[in-house]
């Protein structure tokens, strides 16, 4: 593992970049700013490496605002309807930073905070980095103080493990996710239209015109968002509501979390042969097509990111889970840490 100072924010806070590398040459770079994964290099079927996540080379591009490239999202990932959070009978008004919704933790979410980093020794020798952050009472309107930890591990088999932990001093809501935009052909290689996607889910939650979650479980069968069998995205995306992508429910009503992360999605890029398999113990998966990328941001390759230049597979709880625990309980209670694991496993065929 190596580290370097990437620069400083306007606040004067220093930002470090850590690079984790395995014996085969795969590598991931993580910033202490937002826990952002800025690059992720994995091999294709011929052993050629490419960076498969969208992002920038410089701190200024991240600090000036971006569509959550590679970041840790929270306290609540996704949209909270009307910004209304109810915890143990008390109502809290969260900032509405996307129309009438509270999106991805508010105006200054975890993606814009500086985390503390330290290498995490592991018995198996894999490269591992632990980031910590304390979110104080009242930050972005949330009740309770929360101590958070996110651990990134790069395994010898090219799997990126993301393990999260939240400990609260009073009952509050925490729903973290990782927000990388993937393009398995390589960052800057064009759109993801030729990728083939499979999502192993039987139900989804539809949204309204404002992308507000409806709270209704609906079968994927017969819908544009049915990815139970692999589908080419160039054919599927125009049929999706607003070409955006849906929130999928990974467990049946009342089902307990699995004892270990289970397969939720598989993404294949035929030309390179790269395969991404997503394993998680979260209750939901948000598929996002990157439709809102508009070509105004230029990435590491020097190429502009247009619509569908990358896609997101965000493993999380249900955003309105504080009031709908049947769809994914996101409350953290004192003495009961919340622990979650998501694995992005890369291979080639």
Tokens 């700013």 belong to which residue?
33
Distance CA 175, CA 23 (A): 33
Choosing from 179, 187, 282, 316, the catalytic residue is 179
Catalytic annotation present for 314: yes
Is the CB of residue 118 less than 8 Å from the CB of residue 134?
no
Residue 44, classified by CB atoms within 10 Å of its CB into exposed (0-12), middle (13-18) or buried (19+), is buried
Q: What is the DSSP letter of 346?
A: E
Among candidate residues 127, 139, 163, 314, the one labeled active-site is: 314
Q: Which of 288, 311, 287 is nearest to 53 (CA)?
A: 311
* Burial (0-12, 13-18, 19+ Cβ within 10 Å), 209: exposed
Alpha carbons 16 and 33: distance in angstroms, whole number: 8
Helical spans, DSSP H, in 222-281: 233-236
Whether residue 218 lies in the annotated active site: no
Dihedral (CA of 209, 197, 103, 87) sign: positive
Largest CA distance in the chain: 57
Catalytic residues: 179, 314
């Amino acid at each position: 593992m190596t580290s370097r100072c990437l620069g400083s924010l306007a606040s004067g806070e220093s930002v470090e970049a850590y690079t984790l590398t395995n014996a085969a040459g795969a590598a991931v770079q993580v910033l202490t700013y937002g826990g952002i994964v800025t690059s992720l290099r994995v091999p294709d079927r011929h052993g050629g490496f490419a960076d498969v996540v969208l992002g920038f080379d410089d701190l200024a591009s991240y600090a000036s605002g971006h569509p959550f490239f590679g970041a840790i999202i929270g306290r609540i990932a996704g949209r909270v309807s009307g910004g209304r959070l109810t915890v143990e009978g008390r109502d809290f008004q969260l900032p509405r930073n996307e129309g009438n919704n509270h999106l991805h933790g508010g105006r200054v979410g975890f993606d814009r905070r500086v985390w503390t980093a330290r290498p995490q020794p592991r018995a198996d020798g894999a490269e591992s980095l632990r980031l910590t952050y304390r979110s104080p009472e009242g930050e972005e309107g949330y009740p309770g103080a929360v101590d958070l930890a996110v651990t990134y591990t790069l395994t010898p088999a090219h799997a990126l493990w993301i393990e999260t932990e939240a400990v609260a001093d009073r009952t509050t809501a925490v729903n973290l996710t990782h927000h990388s935009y993937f393009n398995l052909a390589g960052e800057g290689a064009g759109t993801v239209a030729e990728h083939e996607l499979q999502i192993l889910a039987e139900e989804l939650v539809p949204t309204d015109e404002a992308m507000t979650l409806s709270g209704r479980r609906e079968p994927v069968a017969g819908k544009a968002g049915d990815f139970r069998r692999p589908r080419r995205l160039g054919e599927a995306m125009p049929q999706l509501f607003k070409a955006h992508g849906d929130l999928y429910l990974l467990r049946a009503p009342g089902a307990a979390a699995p004892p270990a992360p289970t397969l939720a999605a598989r993404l294949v890029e035929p030309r390179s042969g790269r395969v991404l398999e997503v394993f998680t113990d979260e209750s939901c998966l948000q598929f996002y097509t990157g439709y809102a990328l508009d070509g105004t941001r230029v990435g590491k390759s020097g190429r502009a990111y247009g619509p569908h230049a990358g896609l997101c597979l965000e493993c999380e709880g249900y955003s309105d889970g504080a009031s709908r625990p049947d769809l994914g309980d996101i409350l953290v209670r004192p003495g009961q840490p919340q622990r979650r694991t998501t694995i992005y496993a890369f291979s080639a065929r």
